[in-house]
Chain A
Amino acid sequence: MTKINSGPLKNPKNVYLTVEGLADSKAELEYLKKIKSPAIVERIHQAREYGDLAENSEYDAAVEEQALAENRITELESILKCAKVIADQHNQDFVVIGSTVKIEMDGEIDEFKIVGRVEADPSKKRISNESPLGSVLLGAKKGEEVEVTTPIVRYKCKVLEIK
C-alpha cells in the first residue's frame, strides 16, 4: 500500500496522485474514520475509568494518538479534495508525471517513477515531480541529456528509457 506523505502542501490546487495512490488514500481515510478513531475514543473512555488523569499514561498515550489521527484525517481530506489523478496510460515519447524512467547519472543507473509530492518515497523508487531531479526530467525525451542543478550539486542526467 502506498503511504501518502504528510507535511504542508506547497500548492494544494495541484496534488498529483496515481490511481493506486488515490485508492490507498481513500482506504486509509475510511479506516481512520470508521475503525481507528472509534477505537481510540473507546480507549480514552476506558483510561478515564482508571481514575487520576494527571498520572494516567494510558490516557495520555490515547489522547496523543487521537491528535495524530485527527491531523492525518484533515490532511487526507485536503489531499483528496485537490487531487489530480495521473492517467495510467501515458505517452512514452517524453517524461510526464506517472512515467517510469531509467536514467544514468554520476555512475549510477537508476529507475524510478515520477509521482506527485505526496506519494514520493525514493526508497520505493517514487521520486517527486517537485524534486530537482523529477522537475528537470519532465518533458525530456529518450536519449536526451538534461542538467540537474542545485546551489551545490550539478549533474548531467541521461534518459535511457521511458516506460
Chain B
Amino acid sequence: MKNDQPLIEFNPKLPKLSKNEKEVLQLLIEAGKLIVPIYLEQEKQLTKKISKEEIEKVAEKDPSIFSPFTVVEKVNGRVVTIPYHIKYAKFLRPIVDKLIRASELTENKAFSKFLKLQSKALLDGSYEEPSAAWLNMKPYILDIFIGPVEHFDSQLFFGKAAYQSWVGVVDIENSKEVNYYKNILLNTRRDAIIPGEKITNYSKVKAKVDNLILFSGLMARTQFVGVNMPKNLKVFEKYGSEVTLFNQVHDKRMKEQIVPSFNKVFSSEFRMGFEYEDLRKGSFRYIALHELAHNYLYYKNAFTNLSDLLPIIYEISATLLGMRIAGSLLLKDVITSKELESMIITFISRSLYLMEKSKVNKSIINYAIGGVIFINFMLESGALKQYRGLAIPNFMKIFVSIHDLSYSLEQILASGTRKDAEALIKKYGKLK
C-alpha cells in the first residue's frame, strides 16, 4: 500500500554533535513529526468549498478573511474566519511542549530564545517574532522550521494546507559554497526595472545547506529542494531572509526525476557528455541560484497586480534570473561553460518531468506551468528543437532566450497586470 502520510524521514550522515545537541535534536524531531495530524486536518478542509462571492461578501466586514493564517468555514450556514492557532490548538499543545523542553535544554541562548518565541507564536499567532529572532541569530548547527507557511496563492484562501516542518543539521562545507555564490551575487547591484517598486534587503540575506532528517506537512507534499523564508515581504524588509537547501531531498529528486527525465529526452550521444556528478551539481546550482535570485525580485505591488497568477510568474522568473546570474559567474571564472550547460539541461529535464506529473500532483502545478512556459518559449525561438521525440538544445540560443523571457517576466512582476500574466500563460503555459 502506498504510504500517503505527509512525513518523509531521512537518515543522513551527521557531523559530531555534543550530547546536549543530540538531546535537543531528538525533541525537535518529535515536534516536527507532530505536524502531520494538523496538516491532514487542513487537507480535509480543502474539500469544503465556499464560493468566491460568499468570501467577498464577508470580506467587506471582516478583512481578516484574507489573512494567510486563518481557516474560513461555514458554521450553521454562516461563513466564519478562525485563526489557525485557535482552530488547531489541541494539536499544537503537544508540539509546544516539545519545543519548550528543547528551549530549556539547549545550551545555545539565541536558539533557546527562538524556540520560546516559536512556541508562543504557535499558540497566539505572533509569527513575526520568531522569524525576527531566527534571522538575527548567528549560524547554528541545528535547524528547524515548524509552523504554518504563508500562501500567496489566493486559490486556496478558504482552505489552506499550510503547516509544515523540517528538521536538519547544517552541512557546513556545502553551506560555504552557497554563501560564496551569495556573496558574489548580492554584492552586485542589479538594476530594478522600476526601482521605486522594489523591496531590497540584500545585506541581511543568509544561506545554508542542511543534512535533512525530516520533512512533514506541506514540505513532505511539495518536497522542495530549496526555500527562501520568510515569504512575507514586510518581514523580509525588516529582518532579511534565509535560503535553505536540502541535500537529501535533492538526491531523491535526482534519482526519481532528473536522471530518468534526462535519459528519456536526450539522445545517448548527447548524454555521454554529462556524468552523474555534472548533473547533480548542475541541478543543485540552479536551485541555489533560483532561491538567491528571489531576493532580487520582490516588487511591492506584484501580489495585488497579479493575484493568483503571481506564484507562476514569480517562480519561473527566479529560475531564469538565476540562470542569467550564472552567465555572469561564468564570465568571472566562478563556473565553467560545462557547469552552466549542466544547470540548463537539468532544468529542462525537471520541467519535462513536472509537465507529466502535475496531472496527478496539484501541489506542483505552479512550477509545472512555469516549466511549460520555459520549454514552449525555447521551442518557439528555435533554441530547443525536437527530433524523433528527443530534445536538441542549442546552449547559446537558449541563453539568449532565457535573457529575453526573464526580462519579459520581470516586467510583469514590476508593473504588469493580471491580464498581462494571463496572456503570457495562455501563449506559452499550456500543458500539452
Contact = CB atoms under 8 A, between A and B. Distances in A.
Contacts of B108: none
Contact of B330 (A124, A128, A130, A132): A132
Given A151-B337, A152-B395, A154-B396, A108 B331 contact: no
B268 interface: no
Interface string B179-202: 010011001111100000000000
B184 A152 contact: no
Main secondary structure, interface of A, reads mixed
B166 interface: no
Contact of A122 (B334, B337, B396, B403): B334
Nearest to B326: A153
Given A151-B395, A153-B340, A110 B331 contact: no
Interface in B322-344: 324, 327-334, 337, 340-341
A131 B331 contact: yes
B399 interface: yes
A105 to B, nearest CB: 7
B183 A153 contact: no
Contact of A152 (B191, B332, B399): B399
Nearest to B400: A154
Given A152-B327, A155-B327, A108 B188 contact: yes
B180 A108 contact: no
Contacts of B403: 106
Interface residues of A, number: 25
B333 A110 contact: no
B396 A151 contact: yes
B324 A106 contact: yes
Interface in A79-115: 105-110
Contacts of B188: 108-110
Contacts of B340: 152-153
Contacts of B189: 108-110
A148 B330 CA distance: 11
Interface of A: 105-110, 120, 122-125, 127-128, 130-134, 148, 150-155
18 contacts: A105-B331, A107-B191, A123-B180, A123-B183, A123-B184, A124-B183, A125-B187, A128-B333, A133-B331, A134-B333, A150-B330, A151-B337, A151-B396, A152-B327, A152-B399, A153-B331, A153-B399, A155-B328
Given A106-B327, A109-B191, A110-B189, 16 more contacts: A105-B331, A108-B328, A120-B333, A122-B184, A122-B329, A123-B184, A127-B332, A128-B332, A132-B331, A133-B333, A148-B331, A150-B330, A152-B330, A152-B395, A154-B400, A155-B328
The 3 closest A-B pairs by CB, nearest first: A131-B333, A123-B183, A133-B331
